[in-house]
Amino acid sequence: MGTVLLFSQKNKEEAHLMTSLKETLKSLDNNSEKTFKKTKKIEEKAEQINAKEVRLEAIRAEYLYHRKRMDFVDMMATAKRLYQIGISYNLPVYEAMAKNLLFETYAYNGLYEKAFTQLEDGKRILNKNKIEDSLLTVTKANLFISYSNYYLLKNNLEKQLKYIKLSLREVNKLPDNNYKAKSLYVGYSNLAQVFDKMNRLDSAKYYVDLSLSKYKGEGRKDILLNNFLILGNEAKKRKESKKALFYFNKAENLEGYKNHLDIEDLYGNLIESYSELNNQNFQELYENKLDSIKLDVSLEQNEFLRKLIKNRNNDSNHNFVLIIVLIVIVSSGIIFYFLIKRDFEYSQFTPKNISPNLGDQNGAEYAKLLEMFRQNDLAYITHFNNLFPGFCQKLIELNPKLTKTEIEFSTYLKLKVSTKTIARYKNLSTRTVQNKKYILRKKLNLPKGIDIYQWFDKIND
């Protein structure tokens, strides 16, 4: 889990640089690419003036950027860099922080025992540190939260509860009441999560309310999402389907960072809620969204694991390499399944399946448009503009540098035409179509976790 940055100020220049970093990070969720570039510049400046803590905090902020993009390879590289520089600066607290980030990266990729080793390393580093200050206290608290997350993944609720309580004990040592409140907001939410899984609904509700009482309009949105998920689960267990759906919708509408595990949990709950309410259209919508996020995660995990294999070719620990190879094979199978499933769904050219927002009266026009696409009809784009007025103009507003070819390619994605189908009817290779999608993502600044078809589907006409 992420933490609020703590800063020590040694001189005016360093203090100014740290303040600049804090202000820059406020826009991480809204403009992550720009924020990342500014953070890199702050890191470079910090290195020049030997502002050690500023540099290390900037590197940690870069890790948060990669995490937001589910870029596991760069998460690993950045965490390792934080560790090495922490050693060179003789700052053990940052070494332990890096170990905590490495735990998270391994855990996200299913390497739980390797992840646990990082926690044990982090604990040993902190136990050797004799300087008791707020930074050490917060790092210990976060390490205990990671232990609790490990036992959550292992479904050991008793140990999860134990480590959350240890984390809260550290938090209560903090002298800064404002930071303490923000930390309690996180800790109480974690307690509520455990009690929810234990089916102790009253206790779960009690700690959610405590957590929300510490939320003053500013704070981590992923924790707010967790609170809404718990309230939704509570309502679902009480057979209050509409109330549950209310909280799950509130969770989905939150802006800010949401890790992929929480998103998968959220979509699973939305699928169940719409199923209970006999709303098949929305149930299918969230089933597709869930498949999409699972596919994105599987692709990133596969790349991460292949990178580990490459780096460990000469490693003496053959058992670990073998485990990674087996995971890659399994994840590749998962990726293949989702690609085939998605291509099949997107190749079903019926108005109901492709564009549920279009309405029955335009169904015939929509079918005609798809036929024009298949026939490479020169009047295709004109007919598209009649059916979806404003779509192309909206794209131009988002990026005036889009070419006519890119705009027309975007219309195929609006229609949810599969990669394979575009390649077939436009006489392109599959790789070329994938590259076109990639370029569009870059030009439109779409995060990795966003399904490109769903993004185009939501553009207002």
- pLDDT tens digit string along 243-275? 999 999 999 888 777 888 888 899 999 999 989
Overall pTM > 0.75: no
Separation between Cα atoms, residue 353 and residue 345, nearest integer Å: 8
| CA dist list (Å): 20 to 16, 42, 356, 441 | 6, 8, 46, 29
Helices 404-414, 430-444: crossing angle, 10 deg rounding = 100
As a whole number, mean pLDDT of residues 408-424 equals: 85
CA angle 374, 376, 382 (to 5 degrees): 105
pLDDT value at residue 10: 54
| CA dist list (Å): 256 to 59, 60, 74, 218 | 20, 18, 20, 11
Maximal C-alpha separation, the chain = 75
Contacts of 210 (CB under 8 A, 6+ apart): 184, 188
Task: Count other C-beta atoms under 10 Å from residue 378's C-beta.
Answer: 8
Q: What DSSP assignment string belongs to 55-110?
A: HHHHHHHHHHHHHHTT-HHHHHHHHHHHHHHHHHTT-HHHHHHHHHHHHHHHHHTT
Helical (H) or strand (E) element with 23: helix 12-25
| CA dist list (Å): 108 to 317, 322, 357 | 21, 19, 35
Contacts of 79 (CB under 8 A, 6+ apart): 63, 98, 101, 102, 105
- Is a pLDDT exceeding 90 seen at residue 400? no
Label residue 186 by pLDDT band (50, 70, 90): very high
What are the structure tokens assigned to 377, written together? 């009809």
Which is more confidently placed, 132 or 23?
Answer: 23
As a whole number, mean pLDDT of residues 336-340 equals: 46
pLDDT value at residue 60: 95
Separation between Cα atoms, residue 273 and residue 321, nearest integer Å: 41
- Is a pLDDT exceeding 60 seen at residue 7? no
Task: Say if residues 295 and 339 touch (Cβ distance below 8 Å).
Answer: yes
pLDDT value at residue 160: 94
CB neighbour burial string for 27-48, b if at least 16 within 10 angstroms, e if fewer: ebeeebeebbebbeebbebbee
As a whole number, mean pLDDT of residues 58-87 equals: 92
What are the structure tokens assigned to 221, written together? 């949105």
Which is more confidently placed, 258 or 354?
Answer: 258
How many residues belong to the chain? 461
- Is a pLDDT exceeding 90 seen at residue 103? yes
Q: What DSSP assignment string belongs to 164-211?
A: HHHHHHHHTT-S-HHHHHHHHHHHHHHHHHHHHHTT-HHHHHHHHHHH
Looking up tokens 């939320």 gives 215
Separation between Cα atoms, residue 91 and residue 181, nearest integer Å: 27
Contacts of 116 (CB under 8 A, 6+ apart): 103, 150
CA angle 51, 54, 55 (to 5 degrees): 80
Task: Say if residues 399 and 384 touch (Cβ distance below 8 Å).
Answer: no
Label residue 126 by pLDDT band (50, 70, 90): very high
Label residue 325 by pLDDT band (50, 70, 90): low
pLDDT value at residue 349: 39
Burial of 145 (0-12, 13-18, 19+ CB in 10 A): buried
